[in-house]
């Protein structure tokens, strides 16, 4: 308190970043969070509203009744002042309300693609494109899956040329780390250039 | 068999009333819903006096002696996020803690900060 403003980053005693880990059912979200971050327990509530259960089922249930839902959550401490928080985005449709909150102000997202069920990651890709959240697609190499050329996957997902794609093994720390590095490099590269007359490449 | 059982699936916990800790309040007192990574910090020390704080308020206040995120408070107290938000807003309203200004959601972090993140990730 009371210190003169210096450069922006030094102002805040804690710079916290959100990174979302998305993908279809069983795509490796929990595995990736566990491989690369310090996993921490986190629960959120889901109200039992008529949207989540059949309307008639609500009779006799107080409006304050909720279920708690465990979320994938992990921390990566970069320094005493900089921390990355990984949040797995819950897949089931009834948890979509959480996505808006999770993606608000997010640094970026990882979409895990399972080539055996590529369609499962369409909703995540759509979502991040619409929200303009920078994302990378990590193709999880499941043992029994045929190997695909990432460029074929790009076509199948109808992704633009600038969305980074890479193969990964979510179980391997090094591989999971590479996915996050690719994401942050992508965020850095897509930053609008500063200063007058700067041209943002189309 | 309780009425709630049929709603449970493998991703849901038991039907509980976590908001009992907030006196049934499900919305933060100030109306503002804190982001999961909003950073809060105590403005003063926890005292032993009659300050109207519940044991949960005190636990949270102790965690806030250093800047912490809402998600970390929820994780450290094992309380659901919504409950933590209500209790944090009580503490904010009473002046025990303050929410540190955040980078606006539509503003990019500085290149220097991103490079620091990259450097840190590579060093993991
Ligand atoms: N071979 C291989 N197996 C993986 C990989 N990633 C995850 N798995 C396995 O796939 C299974 C599902 O992984 P999870 O991390 O639970 O997937 P998830 O996305 O969290 O699944 P849900 O939360 O149920 O949607 C587990 O048995 C993992 O061990 C990978 O990169 N390669
Ligand atoms: Mg999972």
Least confident of A74-83, B5-14, B22-31: B5-14
Question: Is the pLDDT assigned to residue B40 strictly greater than 80?
Answer: yes
Q: How confident is the model at residue A18 (pLDDT cuts 50, 70, 90)?
A: very high
Q: The domain spanning residue A146 has which CATH number?
A: 3.40.50.300
List the beta bridge partners of residue A70: A43
Neighbours of A178 (CB within 10 A): 19
The verdict on residue A6 lying in a domain is no
Greater pLDDT, B12 or A140: A140
Decide: A67 and B16 in contact? Cβ < 8 Å.
yes
Domain ranges of chain B: 5-103
The verdict on residue A156 lying in a domain is yes
Greater pLDDT, B114 or A4: B114
> Counting one residue from A and one from B, how many pairs have CB atoms under 8 Å apart?
161
List the beta bridge partners of residue B39: B69
The verdict on residue A4 lying in a domain is no
Give me the torsion for CA of B88, B81, B66, A81, rounded to 10°: -130
Express each pLDDT in A127-166 by its tens digit. 999 999 999 999 998 887 777 888 899 999 999 999 999 9
What's the mean per-residue pLDDT of chain A? 82
Contacts of B12 in chain A (CB under 8 A): 46, 67-69
Among A26, A87, A174, say which to mutate for ligand 1: greatest number of ligand atoms within 8 Å of CB: A26
- Total tally of structural domains belonging to chain A: 1
Contacts of A17 in chain B (CB under 8 A): 37, 109, 117
Question: Is the pLDDT assigned to residue A74 strictly greater than 80?
Answer: yes
Question: Is the pLDDT assigned to residue B51 strictly greater than 60?
Answer: yes
For B87-106, what is the mean pLDDT?
A: 90
CA distance B51 to B94: 10
For A167-196, what is the mean pLDDT?
A: 90
Pull the structure tokens for residue A19: 């990174």
∠ Cα B82 A111 A139 (to 5°): 145
Interchain CB contact of A99 with B (< 8 Å): no
Q: Which domain holds residue A172?
A: 12-49+61-198
Question: How far is residue B107 from each of residues A25, A36, A167, A180, A192, measured CA to CA in Å?
Answer: 32, 27, 30, 20, 11
Greater pLDDT, A75 or B49: A75
> Do the Cβ atoms of A82 and B116 come within 8 Å?
yes
Q: How confident is the model at residue A196 (pLDDT cuts 50, 70, 90)?
A: very low
CA distance B27 to chain A (A): 11
Looking at residue B50, its pLDDT comes to 75
Residues 6+ apart with CB under 8 A from B12: A46, A67, A68, A69
Q: How confident is the model at residue A64 (pLDDT cuts 50, 70, 90)?
A: low
Looking at residue A8, its pLDDT comes to 39
Pick the CATH number of B5-103 from 3.40.640.10, 1.20.20.10, 3.40.50.880, 1.10.10.10: 1.10.10.10
């Amino acid at each position: 308190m009371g210190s003169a403003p210096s450069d922006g980053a030094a102002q805040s005693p804690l710079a916290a970043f959100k990174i979302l880990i998305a993908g279809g059912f069983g795509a490796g979200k929990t595995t990736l969070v566990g491989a690369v971050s310090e996993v921490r327990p986190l629960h959120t509530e889901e109200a039992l509203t008529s949207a989540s259960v059949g309307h008639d089922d609500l009779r006799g249930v107080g409006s304050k009744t909720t279920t708690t839902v465990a979320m994938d959550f992990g921390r990566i401490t970069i320094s005493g002042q900089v921390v990355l928080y990984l949040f797995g985005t819950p897949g089931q449709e009834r948890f979509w309300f959480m996505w808006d909150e999770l993606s608000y102000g997010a640094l970026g997202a990882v979409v895990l693609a399972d080539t055996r069920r590529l369609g499962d990651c369409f909703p995540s890709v759509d979502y991040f494109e619409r929200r303009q959240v920078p994302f990378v697609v990590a193709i999880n190499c499941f043992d029994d899956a045929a190997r695909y050329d990432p460029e074929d996957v790009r076509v199948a997902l109808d992704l633009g040329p600038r969305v980074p794609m890479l193969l990964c093994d979510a179980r391997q720390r090094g591989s999971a780390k590479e996915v996050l590095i690719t994401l942050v490099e992508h965020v850095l590269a897509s930053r609008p250039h500063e200063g007058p007359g700067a041209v943002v490449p189309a | 068999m309780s009425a709630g059982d049929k709603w449970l699936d493998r991703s849901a916990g038991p039907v509980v009333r976590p908001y009992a800790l907030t006196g049934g309040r499900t919305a933060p007192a100030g109306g503002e819903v804190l982001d999961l990574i909003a950073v809060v910090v105590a403005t003063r020390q926890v005292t032993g006096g009659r300050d109207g704080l519940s044991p949960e308020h005190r636990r949270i206040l102790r965690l806030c002696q250093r800047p912490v995120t809402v998600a970390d408070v929820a994780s450290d107290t094992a309380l659901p996020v919504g409950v933590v938000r209500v209790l944090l807003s009580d503490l904010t309203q009473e002046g025990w803690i303050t929410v540190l200004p955040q980078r606006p959601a539509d503003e990019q972090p500085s290149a220097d900060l991103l490079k620091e993140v990259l450097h840190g990730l590579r060093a993991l």
